Amino acid sequence: MSDNSDNQTSGAGGRLVRDVVVYTLARIALVVALTAVIYYIAQLIGIHEFPLVVALLFAIVISLPLGIWVLGPLRKRATASIAVVDERRRRDREQLQARLRGNSKPDKKPKS
């Protein structure tokens, strides 16, 4: 591999890690916010012994579908970063296999 390819891969890998970490932290923040909302709503309506664990479980269940809409752009960005890294790995693997076969360029296989 050339130095240019290594720099591009590490740059894409860094972007991938950043995007996935941001998405994960956003999902966790959504659960925490929903837990607080559910817990304090229970306090406001007069349920003073409402377990925090129950509020957390409800928040997890509610955040699963809610995260699809609220965190859609972050999810799409993380998915795009994963696709870029996967494509580079596939291309690098094809180039390595071509060099091992003695070809200078990988064979083009028709897509089915």
Average pLDDT per 10 consecutive residues for the chain, totaling 112 residues: 48 82 94 96 91 95 94 90 88 89 65 52
pLDDT of 12 reads 67
Amino acid at 62: I
46: left (phi over 0), alpha (psi -120 to 50) or beta: left
CA–chain centroid gap for 99, Å, is 33
pLDDT of 52 reads 93
Query: Does residue 13 contact residue 85 with C-beta atoms inside 8 Å?
Result: yes
Alpha helices in 45-71 (DSSP H): 52-70
Alpha-carbon distance 81 to 90, whole Å?
14
Alpha-carbon distance 20 to 25, whole Å?
9
Alpha-carbon distance 58 to 62, whole Å?
6
pLDDT of 108 reads 57
pLDDT of 22 reads 94
Cα distances (angstroms) measured from residue 78 to each of 17, 60, 94, 96, 108: 9, 21, 25, 27, 29
